[in-house]
Copies of this chain bind each other. A is one copy, B any other.
């Protein structure tokens, strides 16, 4: 009987099981949808993130850096091509590579010194006898500096020319610096020596020319970079400080992207504007020199003493210049002569692109990028970032190749070319794929210099992604601090008080064009971020890591002085990778519109405090702007609530897609291609660059400053116009966040 019951029970169970199986899989509707139903509701997998974090390896990053920095890899040189090959090899590796990787070339306008006629700066006495010649190459401390491919220090896009004149000291070369100097010294025919900082590189020459200055020198003052240290035995290779002969190279143009093809991708047959129509480049020759030589020149200058704020670290008084040298100087009556042989050339520069195809939403892109080109070996700039990127792609690529993981959305990796010449590769990419990228890109993550120093994380971003950065940073251990997260370490170094969140780490804004995020932010309006590890500001005043853009930015330097053990690199890779995975995998995009509202409110409050009173006198009301920001806040609150109260994993996948589209496209609502008539590459009305230097809406701040200075009614009209542009952009953004219909 027991046996029969047992048999009956087993039979019944078997039949039931068959029934369940038929019911679950056998009925068409369910069975055919089951496959994709799982797929479309897939969310970020925390255990996968843990796995990713554990796989990110500091030694791999170190080895990447070693390989990338074997030779100088300035844009379009043989060394650059070598790095192209490294990227392609890695990303096309069948076991650790991406789904697909390729190269994209642009023909771009670059500027080089002539290796056969090196640029020269000399102090010349009567009859042009050289009394002092500025060093042509940086001093060799390691074999790196002896590499014949090290490019002579120069100012890219400085015109060639042979100006000669009495030397003057013009501090940082800002408009007010030249104005002040001109009050004392007749600047016509002079050569001005300036120090880095305060004004853009090219601006130092652009600001000088109207005063009749015929040539400009620029150097890095030890005060600004070396915490005052300047002797050979205190600097690299003895410390991280800049050696006396080190020279910061750089691009001296003002606008980002290829200059001959504005707003068009620089393909071979693209129309190019005449060279004479280029704007924003030095009108007179300019050349960077080391502080060793600057010391010789400045300390011999005659004339009145420059103001205290102009004084640097040299053990002499910085005088304006007589113009020219002191009567007591060996250089007395001498001129400074510049012989600049730079030439411009259209050359092919490559981006290397790689993708991992998304599973559920391949038409949504998370883009992660960094430039590949350096000035010399570029261990920190940019290869620290590239080493990190290669480690990310190794870890993620391996998981993809092993079938362990595929992101919900597509990931695009970009290794940009010719960034050092003015963000060229990334800009041309955004111009070529403008529509596709605008429509589909969820976010752009930029990790250029991954590690400036090993104290703390630093992030600049649209406010809507601060939270995902925080989430990621909380899951990563701070280098060298076992029980402290990157987040907790960061908040200790830099924080602010948020009305919503209390004390949180301070995230900067991407209002400038300092790296390849520029075109993504300002031209495409894509939610972006820039991540790095950086200084303890209580320990150094260095403007940037001291050997920036010099021949000393080498693997040796990076591994000895910036990040021994590569633990900060690892922390950045883990944090940025974590953010990347969350953006790619989350069911609901980790983009928070209420955090955007808080930033708009901050900007509004500042604007009201600064401008409202005087605007009233001109009959310009700020009420519409206030209402717009309030609309935005209320729409953001509403959308947050919809997200919070929806069971999105079980509702139609078109609902979460709809919400994600609202989040993805939020920044696009702030674009207005007509907002800034003088700088069409800036279309984002919240984050455009600004010269007014106020922490508020950039176009409003600039228009206001301009009107206040001119006092003209037509300039106040421009303030009113921009207020309307801004108001409608914010209202328009609010419209996109409310219920879709």
Instruction: Using CB atoms and an 8 Å cutoff, list the residues of chain A in contact with chain B.
Output: 11-12, 15-27, 29-30, 32-34, 36-40, 261, 263-265, 267, 269-271, 274, 355, 357-358, 360-363, 365, 410, 412, 431-436, 439-440, 621, 623-624, 650-654, 657-658, 661-662, 665, 668-669, 673-674, 680, 717, 720-721, 723-725, 728, 731-733, 735-736, 740-741
Contact = CB atoms under 8 A, between A and B. Distances in A.
Given A23-B21, A269-B624, A654 B720 contact: no
Contacts of A33: 30, 33, 37, 650
Given A362-B741, A435-B668, A732-B436, A270 B19 contact: no
B657 A271 contact: no
Contacts of A39: 652
Given A19-B23, A20-B22, A363-B661, A654 B40 contact: yes
A591 B624 CA distance: 39
Contacts of A36: 651-652, 654
A724 B21 CA distance: 61
Contacts of A12: 11-12, 15
Given A19-B17, A721-B271, A724-B270, A433 B732 contact: yes
Contact of A728 (B21, B264, B741): B264
A329 B509 CA distance: 79
A596 B740 CA distance: 29
A726 to B, nearest CB: 11
Nearest to A738: B436
Contacts of A436: 669, 732, 735-736
Contacts of A658: 361-363
Contacts of A19: 15-23
A361 B735 contact: no
Contacts of A274: 717
26 contacts: A11-B12, A15-B16, A20-B22, A23-B24, A24-B24, A30-B37, A33-B650, A261-B724, A264-B725, A265-B728, A271-B720, A271-B721, A271-B723, A271-B724, A357-B741, A358-B741, A360-B652, A362-B740, A362-B741, A363-B661, A410-B740, A433-B735, A434-B732, A435-B668, A435-B669, A435-B733
Given A19-B23, A657-B657, A652 B40 contact: yes
Contact of A269 (B267, B271, B434, B623): B623
Given A12-B12, A30-B33, 12 more contacts: A15-B19, A16-B18, A20-B22, A24-B24, A29-B38, A36-B652, A40-B652, A271-B723, A271-B724, A274-B717, A360-B652, A657-B657
B736 A435 contact: yes
A732 B524 CA distance: 14
Contacts of A434: 732
A654 B653 contact: yes
A657 B363 CA distance: 10
Given A435-B665, A736-B436, A740-B410, A654 B360 contact: yes
Residue of A270, A654, A717, A721 contacting most chain B CB atoms (<10 Å): A654
Nearest to A724: B271
A273 to B, nearest CB: 8
B621 A440 contact: no
A440 B665 CA distance: 11
A271 B169 CA distance: 46
A662 to B, nearest CB: 8
A653 B40 contact: yes
Contacts of A20: 19-20, 22-23, 26
A274 B24 CA distance: 71
Nearest to A262: B674
A439 B665 contact: yes
A1 to B, nearest CB: 15
A654 B652 contact: no
A699 to B, nearest CB: 13
A724 B265 CA distance: 9
Given A30-B34, A361-B654, A439 B736 contact: yes
A665 B440 CA distance: 11
A40 B33 CA distance: 12
Contacts of A741: 355, 357-358, 362-363, 365, 410, 412
A432 B624 contact: no
A475 to B, nearest CB: 28
Contacts of A11: 12
Contacts of A650: 32-33
A657 B38 CA distance: 17
Contacts of A662: 363
Nearest to A740: B363
Contacts of A410: 740-741
Contacts of A18: 16, 19
- Top 3 A-B residue pairs of the complex, sorted by shortest distance between their CB atoms: A19-B19, A23-B23, A36-B652
A73 B582 CA distance: 57
A35 B440 CA distance: 29
A654 B651 contact: no
B40 A668 contact: no
A261 B725 CA distance: 11
A361 B652 CA distance: 10
